[in-house]
């Protein structure tokens, strides 16, 4: 059961910065995996992995229904990921570009 949060916006922002700093000091995929497995429930981790799989298929211009068939991810989630890929903060696109660059470099 969720309780009412009493953090101020400033405290929320600081908590997010602290989380990102913790992630930033991890040096290998294995370290990040261990951290995320401690931080997230299995369902949360699966949801993030599903969204990332959708990004990769969207970058290949697959139709939403084909992505759904391949991944089992809902059309709603696929649409949401597509929206953020196109008009979000740029995180999906940046990570996808860097991964592509590291694979080709």
Which band of pLDDT confidence, cut at 50, 70 and 90, is reported for residue 22?
very high
Over residues 75-101, the mean pLDDT reads 95
Between 74 and 5, the higher pLDDT residue: 74
Between 84 and 6, the higher pLDDT residue: 84
Helix H or strand E segment including 77: helix 75-87
- Distance between terminal CA atoms of the chain? 47
Angle, in degrees to the nearest 10, between helices 64-71 and 75-87? 120
Residue from 34, 40, 68, 38 nearest 54 by CA = 68
State the pLDDT at residue 7. 87
This prediction has a pTM of 0.82
Tens of pLDDT, residues 36-66: 999 999 999 999 999 999 999 999 999 999 9
DSSP string, 25-77: T--SHHHHHHHHHHHS-HHHHHHHHHHHHHHHHHHTT--HHHHHHHH---HHH
State the pLDDT at residue 3. 66
d(CA 39, CA 15): 14
């Amino acid at each position: 059961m969720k309780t009412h949060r009493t953090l101020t916006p400033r405290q929320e922002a600081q908590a997010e910065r602290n989380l990102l700093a913790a992630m930033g000091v991890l040096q290998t995929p294995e370290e990040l995996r261990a951290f995320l497995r401690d931080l997230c429930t299995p369902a949360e981790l699966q949801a993030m992995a599903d969204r990332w799989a959708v990004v990769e298929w969207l970058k290949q211009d697959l139709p939403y229904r084909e992505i759904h068939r391949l991944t089992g991810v809902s059309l709603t989630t696929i649409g949401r990921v597509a929206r953020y890929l196109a008009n979000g903060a740029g995180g999906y696109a940046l990570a996808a570009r860097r991964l592509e660059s590291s694979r080709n470099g």
